[in-house]
Structure 1
């Protein structure tokens, strides 16, 4: 019969109540790496080992889980534990690895219960996989209790990859409370931090929109580590999301200087992910990072980038430095992709801050570095420059993109359409909106409706409303305010109209109000007035 699966919290309470007090030795007296190597990106390379018989039974259990036959999987697991063979932690790694990937936290706890009953000591790999399964299954509270339980009852050796896995789940589930509990536990056990730890803490700071926390993480990082291009990429990403353009730009300077120095340490996994190939060992920083100019090294030329964020006093330099030409040798290396991604982040921050001058100089920097702009690059650049230079400059960039066979993003087209609507260039604005395939917000369409209202062209407005319906884009209150303004009156230019025009107007008003009710939008003062 199928073994009933209690809640994980109840399972932990049962273990803690005294069932484990049977005089077993230290829970991890034989802690071994068990062919597991924790890397900088948090992955674990597993060597399952074990006898062919145990591996075959593990495969049968996993196959049953894949087919949804949990009762059979539980029976096989019970038979596996009651067999004649002597079992070790390594004989359960295949099962736990599947549960961590699925995830299946309940079967993990069932497996752990069996291992406890058979007095099988956990190893590093099993410990990490169990925590990973709980975290990926959304059981943060239970995972935290699990780690505390092992520490209090068995004195487990603190494993940084386990804590990083838990912190990563906290960042994904946006749970600051559990993250703080984990940090307290790390401090209690005197567990240090590596670069993946800083990366996860940055994600939490960005989610909380806590700029001071991100700066504190930066200060703590540079006390223990020398500069690293991948980590600098994470900090640039964080500063741009926190709207700290100055810090993002200064950090980008450090990245470019490191790239020019040739100290890249950037590789690519088989899945295409970029990671730092440098050993993740804390190294004291050898340079002062407070200045805006970065020294590349003892025998290297200094590279100073003076991007003036004051758009009114920008002087285009003829070249950044002759040393930048060295990067031409690295065009096909991953470091160039990291540079492009970080410059793109800063460009999009320029668009939000309307720092069109800095955006222009960043494009010059890409040209000097030999980096080819992508559609994402132009998206940030166009949205930054049209605020000051108008839609004409944006249309020129669209022509450049067309020459380079680059398709503009929907956000690029929408931003350009807004500027055309503000200039009452309705033909251009409508043509751009017709090319939009997806838009998460109605602002560009509202800008066009406002232009139609100003130009008294309700027929154009009807076409754009049809486009909004096609995109399944829900109107907001501003949309309805404009609709009442255009369609809530009698036939223009006859202000008083006649009885038929009054009837038609009433029908239009009723239709708009019914659509408001359908979409759950409440009246505003302006919509009532209109």
Structure 2
């Protein structure tokens, strides 16, 4: 029975490794089979010449491997049998080529078949064979069998090297099996094997997979009790801390790493397989650095010894406070205080006066060290991007350059992500230009990040240009972000080009794509235009085409795609199809919350009311109440608006009572709908009384409520009511809009009061710009010279180009004032001195 790791040195670490055991089926435990071959296992090494095999067996092994590569397993088994019968003096080295293949790819079934063949020939295995056995089994997911193999190695001289156990732990990390890692640690403790640096590195992988920052800190605490960290182990710890978002601990480890490198105490070797490793012997030597104590100190208060400094200077980089301190021995310290949102990160590096010269004095042996150091910097900068800490990312990037480390495309990718996350795409694009000047090619992922950022900023042309620069096939999220921007900007023609690009690259859409397509192409007419028979037919064709494409790609509707589809049909006035989709849409909302279903019903209700299908809207509302779908404030406001279609104020009042009982207070749109009902019944007194009630209850009024009364008063020719409402707007500092100007101007013109109409138009236009006369005086010079009194013929076009995108009201006001000026009326920038404005104030003012 395996002992619990609560008795091992990694109590707090492995306590978090406890998980439900997930064994692999298909094999019985290999313990019994291995027991018979224990006496044949030897600890002899492998020949220095290749794997120590002769030419005949080497040829036969290659034939077996070739058969396995071609998937001809029966042939491989026959060839293995021939190999075992070809020579009575076979050794382990005569099978090692096969075992190596099985470990690399892996092939656990054939490695077991090979082991049974060796067992039948009573061939003693060696350390190399044992390693391949463990690697093939663990990489193939057969952890139970691999553990049985390890368990079978018993006795003082037959426990096997610790690398075997590390290989098993590597398999546990690959398959994310903390249970088997627990078993292995117990076995290692029983056999007094201890733990090497590699052991700790494999345990780090499991801790990161578990997202356990506590476990990583426990591993580090245990590690430094036995080892002085090497640059490789520090690299592993930085990797773990950055994956779990611990920037403070990652910077501590990076500080230690740089300090080691700059003092020339690090040498890294590169294996034949291309992996980096420390050249130091793996002998436990406790660290002299108490990392635990360092972690408890406020990092921003870490001391800097300046007693022996002969020079000191400061510089500011993007708001950071950094300093260089140089002592009498020529050593220089670099200190930098970093604001990391709630906590302060302190990063201090001590090294040579000129680190760049230090690298240049080195030889090829320093290149692996530089790569590892650059990787660690890049890892931390990537974490800065995830935590949106562009300031720390920029400072680390600056420190890399100070140390003579040339950033790679990977480093720039991290920095660009960090900068873009906080300050937008423009600065990221500038960094890409810097890369190009350095002959560094940005990753496709970097360009995708910038494209997505431009899409969020609604810079469609720039986002599309960046998308076109991507060499490979971008992630679907990049296309979807651009389609979403096209939807916001109501530019379906741009979306057509994006879809063409997706088709060219064979990029399959996802559900978000289809949600956007229904919104972009579901309706034909421009906003505020009513649908007709032709547009309704065209919209139906588009929707059917999108749905067929969904079926071809095996994608089901989502609640949002159904909402966008029904919204498009409602906008076109296609009531029959909209109701059909509504009736079969319940299945798509079965697992969503009730609020989403209510929002869906509100869309249908609003479309029915807009299409004057009041009775259908009433039936739907009754069904909502009957089936327990909770109406919200929007539902009640839509139904009150429905009452204006049937001119029933009594029903509207009943809805207001229900609204109050359900805990929803009337809003401005509620009173607007009630006013419409009263006006439809020619009850101007009731509408004005309701307006007074809105103002007395301090509800935030908007211009729509006033315009509703102005429109009806204009139609019925009630100039007195128009003047009363206009003065109420001025008293509440509710700025007019173009509709306000049109209703008032037209009312006076229809009655033949042309000069009053022009004066009123001028005053209301000035109030559209600002209700404050001080602001108007400040704007006068710019607006008069450039727009209102300009004598060139392009003045109107210049007004539209300048203001229509940012402020339509100012554009309309300037066009109105220019018309007044062209009619020969002098523009007074003090509306309060206008005779019309003074008359309204004295007649209707408070």
Measured at CA, do residues 159 and 472 of structure 1 come closer, stay the same or move farther in structure 2, by a change above 3 Å? same
Contact 1:27 1:156 in 2 (8 A): no
What are the superposed Cα offsets for residues 288-347 of structure 1, whole Å, 9 maximum, x if unpaired?
224256999xx9958464341336999999x97662623532255221111111111111
1:15 and 2:18 matched: no
Partners of 1:372 and 1:203 lie apart in 2 by 28
Note the C-alpha offset of 1:265.
2.1
Q: Does 1:492 align with 2:492?
A: no
Structure-to-structure mapping, 1:124-139, within 5 angstroms: 124-139=127-142
In 2 relative to 1, CA 46–210 (structure 1 residues): closer, same or farther, beyond 3 Å? farther
Cα distance between partner residues in 1 of 2:211 and 2:345: 34
User: Do the aligned residues in 2 keep the contact of 1:320 with 1:365 (CA within 8 Å)?
Assistant: no
Q: Distance in 1 between matches of 2:209 and 2:345?
A: 36
Structure 1 distance, partners of 2:187, 2:345, is 52
Corresponding residue of 1:329: 358
- The 3 A distance-change label for structure 1 pair 492 and 8 is closer
Deviation at 1:201, TM superposition (A): 1.5
Of 106, 122, 125, 2:125 maps to 122
- Could you tell me which runs of 5 or more consecutive residues in structure 2 were left unpaired when the two chains were aligned: 1-24, 306-328, 568-846
CA distance in 2, matches of 1:79, 1:323: 66
After superposition, the C-alpha distances for 1:447-503 in whole angstroms (9 at most, x for unaligned) are 322222222211001111222333444434433333222212231146212211111
Cα offsets for 1:350-407 (capped at 9, x unmatched): 1111001001101110110111111111111111112333322112112111111111
After superposing the two structures, state which structure 1 stretch, 342-351 or 417-426, moved more. Answer: 417-426
- Tell me how far 1:27 sits from its aligned partner: 4.8
What's the secondary structure of 1:177's corresponding residue?
A: helix
CA contact (8 A) 1:474 1:519 kept: no
Corresponding residue number in structure 1 for 2:699: none
Moved more, 448-457 or 299-308: 299-308
Distance 1:431 1:313, change over 3 A: farther
Aligned to 1:509: 543
Structure 1 unmatched runs, 5+: 1-6, 37-44
Q: Which residue, 437, 440, 443 being the options, matches 1:406?
A: 440
Counterpart residue number, 2:823: none
Q: 1:61 to 1:351 in 2, by over 3 A?
A: closer
Give the alignment partner of residue 431 of structure 1, picking from 465, 472, 476: 465
Query: How many Å apart are 1:239 and its aligned residue?
Result: 1.4
Q: 1:95 to 1:488 in 2, by over 3 A?
A: closer
More moved, 93-102 vs 240-249:
93-102
Counterpart for residue 186 of structure 1:
188
Equivalent position of 2:558 in the other structure: 523
The one-character-per-residue Cα deviations of 1:498-524 (angstroms, maximum 9, x if unpaired) are 211111111112222333343424322
Q: 2:430 aligns with which of 396, 416, 420?
A: 396
Deviation at 1:150, TM superposition (A): 4.0
Residues of 2 paired with 1:278 and 1:300: CA distance? 29
Cα offsets for 1:215-247 (capped at 9, x unmatched) = 221111111111211111111111111222222
Partner of 2:276: 274
Cα RMSD (Å): 3.4
Does residue 308 (structure 1) correspond to residue 338 (structure 2)? The answer is: yes
Distance in 2, matches of 1:519 and 1:435, equals: 30
Q: Which residue of 1 aligns with 2:103?
A: 100
The answer as to whether partners of 2:43 and 2:160 remain within 8 angstroms in 1 is no
- Counterpart in the other structure of 1:419: 453
Specify the alignment match of 1:146 in structure 2. Answer: 149
> Among residues 77, 88, 92, which one is paired with 2:83 in the alignment?
77
| Structure with larger Rg | 2
Inter-partner Cα distance in structure 2 for 1:133 and 1:323: 47
Which range moved further: 97-106 or 199-208? Answer: 97-106
Q: Deviations over 1:157-211 (max 9, x none)?
A: 2421111111112222333332222223222322221111122111222222222
Selected match of 2:170 from 165, 168, 171: 168
Structure 1 segment 41-60 matched on structure 2, within 5 A = 48-49=51-52, 52=54, 56-57=56-57, 59-60=59-60
Contact 1:260–1:327 (8 Å) recurs in 2: no
Q: Distance in 1 between matches of 2:416 and 2:141?
A: 40
Cα displacement (A) at 1:525: 4.1
Please state whether the residue corresponding to 1:193 is helix, strand or coil: coil
Question: What displacement does 1:11 show?
Answer: 8.0
Q: 1:34 aligns to what?
A: 45
* CA–CA separation in structure 1 for the residues paired with 2:527 and 2:304: 70
**Alpha-carbon distance change, 270 to 245 in structure 1, aligned in 2, over 3 angstroms:** same
Distance 1:315 1:205 in 2: 24
Cα contact 2:231–2:257 (8 A) shared by 1: yes
With normalisation by structure 1, the TM-score equals: 0.83
Q: Which has the higher contact order (CA 8 A, sep 6+)?
A: 1
Query: Take 1:239 and 1:261, find their aligned partners in 2: how far apart are those partners?
Result: 24
Task: Tell me how far apart the structure 1 counterparts of residues 202 and 111 of structure 2 sit (CA, whole Å).
Answer: 25
Distance 1:76 1:199, change over 3 A: same
Work out the CA distance in 2 between the residues paired with 1:294 and 1:222: 23
Looking at structure 1, the residues matched to 424 and 57 of structure 2 have their Cα atoms a distance apart, in angstroms, of 68
Secondary structure in structure 1 of the residue aligned to 2:440? coil
Does structure 1 conserve the Cα–Cα contact (< 8 Å) formed by 2:388 and 2:421?
yes
Match in the other structure for 1:41: none
Q: In 1, distance between residues paired with 2:473 and 2:65?
A: 41
Of residues 238, 241, 247, the one that matches 1:239 is: 241
Q: Which deviates the most, 446-455 or 512-521?
A: 512-521
TM score, norm. by length of structure 2 = 0.54
CA distance in 2, matches of 1:245, 1:492: 50
Cα displacement (A) at 1:151: 3.7
Aligned residue among 192, 204, 208 for 2:210: 208
Q: Number of residues paired by the alignment? A: 499
